[in-house]
Structure 1
Amino acid sequence: MKQAAIPRLPEVQFSDEGRIRHLHLDSIWIQGSMDQRDPVRLVHEYVQRMMAWLLFVEPDCVPQRRAMQLGLGAGSLTKFCVKMLRMPTTVIELNPGVLHACRGWFHLPEAGPLLEIVLADAEQEIGNPKWWGMVDALQVDLYDHEAAAPVLDSVAFYAACRRLLTEAGCMTVNLFGRRASFQHSVARMAEAFGAQALWRFKATREGNTVVMAFNGGPGDAHPGVMLRDRAARLALGARAEEIESRWGLPARKWLKGLEPVFEAAAPKG
């Protein structure tokens, strides 16, 4: 019996641009970056926006929540969750070369009480029931080596992602690429989460659009309800200020920039 061919994984390289170090996968396209003078700082605006779920979590409770990243990249989100938020974090990465590069070139800590690293195909791994209902913050950033389109972008994939989330969990997704279609991607997410569960930021100058998909939450505490209600949205301003004070993230800017993906989810009145 012939064994199935093992797909070739791209080789990993890095380049330095002043104090900023970039990760590449067999191409010129940047898969992640690090400030060599401040390795935990989130360099790119879109990566900062991937943390916007913090608006809907009491800051003192963050270390009791669990984060999961699908795709390690340069390890930026993983380092921030572990080192700054002190949050139990699992990362699923297919390419062992990316893991070795992050440890050698991007200051990724070794696995320990707060960090679990799983070398596996994300699509297969999230089908493991041990993860279901366990994740409060799911961060999805899965691209091919040319950063052309999301590797996983089906209704079935987004439904599997939702199954990972706790009742009040949130998925943040980076949508970027020359062949990617934003409308097709969010339509698939809407089928898995519901249209009113989806919120977005406008694209960054580099073309990255971060979408947030909320699983649920009790009554008025549902993030989508809070964002649609003007009074509740104003009340989130105090939390945004605390996020900025504690972790140096531009949370007040997030709150101003979040908008519904579909107009039916817009605030009324």
Structure 2
Amino acid sequence: MTPRFAPVTFSEMEGVRYLHFGTEWVQGAMRLRKPDAIELEYAQQMMAWLLFLSPSVDEFHVVQLGLGAAALTKFCHRQFSRARVTAVELNPAVIIAGRSMFGLREDDARLTVREQDAWDYVMDGTHAGAVDVLQVDLYDATARGPVLDTTAFYRACRRTLKAPGVMTINLFGDHNSFPKNIERICDAFDNRVLVFPEVHDGNIIALAFNGPEIDVSWAVLEARADVVEDTTGLPARDWVKKLRAANARQEERLRI
């Protein structure tokens, strides 16, 4: 009988522990001397919603679809003391690995890790309009494209978001899945999508927006980036620079 999930495996190189699903493809990483930091550049970019939303507001809720090495879940739980953080992961071995190999804490009043299919989570009507930030990173052992990538899925993702709300998603640029995913995300989010340039390992992060129109000057975003970088250590100034360069139709203001 074919196993339901690929094996969860690990490697270490130059002080970094990597998560794999039985192949050479990296599914997550943690620097052993900085276990609470976000090691991979694309994962850092998935936090770019911080340029648009404040996690200090009441009842702020961050949801991660696909736990990976738990870097984003750990970071949000540790960094944002008022936020509730939920991670949704189908493979129980990934959850075990997160806690035994990558320093993910046990659930508490603000942290919930659910063994559940991401499709079931976003299709559950009780989650409609309940999520401020949805971080989507859904890959299998081949790591060549998201395992959930239909327009129906992306529309369901949008339904979970509050207004305002932001979805960040990890896509693989060097693969034929990329154009269709961008097209479907744009369809689901009425073309309110920003895209980062591809990082060196092929990942492309997209941000999709729900709620009122955003009309903000790049100077204001740069000022916000200063605050984010100073308080979290994330390279937010670089985010603004790359978003502006990659979305060239914008001029002095970002309107989306």
Pick the TM interval, shorter chain: over 0.9
> Following TM superposition, by how much is the alpha carbon of 1:57 offset from its aligned partner in structure 2, in angstroms?
2.0
Question: Do 1:32 and 1:76's aligned partners in 2 also have CA atoms closer than 8 Å?
Answer: yes
Aligned to 1:29: 25
Question: Do 1:193 and 1:215's aligned partners in 2 also have CA atoms closer than 8 Å?
Answer: yes
Question: Do 1:168 and 1:215's aligned partners in 2 also have CA atoms closer than 8 Å?
Answer: yes
Aligned to 1:229: none
Distance 1:6 1:116, change over 3 A: farther
> Following TM superposition, by how much is the alpha carbon of 1:177 offset from its aligned partner in structure 2, in angstroms?
6.3
Question: Do 2:140 and 2:147's aligned partners in 1 also have CA atoms closer than 8 Å?
Answer: yes
Residues 1:145 and 2:141 aligned together: yes
Paired with 1:142 and 1:253, the residues of 2 have a C-alpha distance of 25
Distance 1:27 1:7, change over 3 A: same
1:45-103 deviation per Cα after TM superposition (whole angstroms, max 9, x unaligned): 10000000000124643x74110010000000000000112221111100000000110
Number of aligned positions between the proteins: 252
Question: Do 1:91 and 1:116's aligned partners in 2 also have CA atoms closer than 8 Å?
Answer: yes
> Following TM superposition, by how much is the alpha carbon of 1:17 offset from its aligned partner in structure 2, in angstroms?
0.7
Residues 1:266 and 2:244 aligned together: no
Letter in 2 for 1:124: D
Aligned to 1:193: 189
Distance 1:247 1:31, change over 3 A: same
Paired with 1:260 and 1:214, the residues of 2 have a C-alpha distance of 19
Paired with 1:173 and 1:120, the residues of 2 have a C-alpha distance of 19
Aligned to 2:93: 97
> Following TM superposition, by how much is the alpha carbon of 1:130 offset from its aligned partner in structure 2, in angstroms?
1.4
TM-score relative to the length of structure 2: 0.92
Aligned to 1:205: 200
Distance 1:139 1:49, change over 3 A: same
> Match for 2:71 among 64, 68, 76?
76
> Following TM superposition, by how much is the alpha carbon of 1:243 offset from its aligned partner in structure 2, in angstroms?
0.6
Distance 1:94 1:180, change over 3 A: farther
Q: Percent identity?
A: 42
Residues 1:40 and 2:40 aligned together: no
> Following TM superposition, by how much is the alpha carbon of 1:14 offset from its aligned partner in structure 2, in angstroms?
0.9
Paired with 2:147 and 2:99, the residues of 1 have a C-alpha distance of 24
Aligned to 1:18: 14
TM-score relative to the length of structure 1: 0.88
Question: Do 2:8 and 2:22's aligned partners in 1 also have CA atoms closer than 8 Å?
Answer: yes
Q: Indicate the RMSD between aligned Cα atoms, in angstroms.
A: 2.0
Paired with 1:64 and 1:215, the residues of 2 have a C-alpha distance of 18
Question: Do 2:173 and 2:198's aligned partners in 1 also have CA atoms closer than 8 Å?
Answer: no
Residues 1:49 and 2:34 aligned together: no
Question: Do 1:198 and 1:260's aligned partners in 2 also have CA atoms closer than 8 Å?
Answer: no
Aligned to 1:130: 126
Runs of 4 or more off by more than 4 Å in structure 1?
A: 259-263
Structure 1 gap ranges (5+): 227-231
Aligned to 2:166: 170
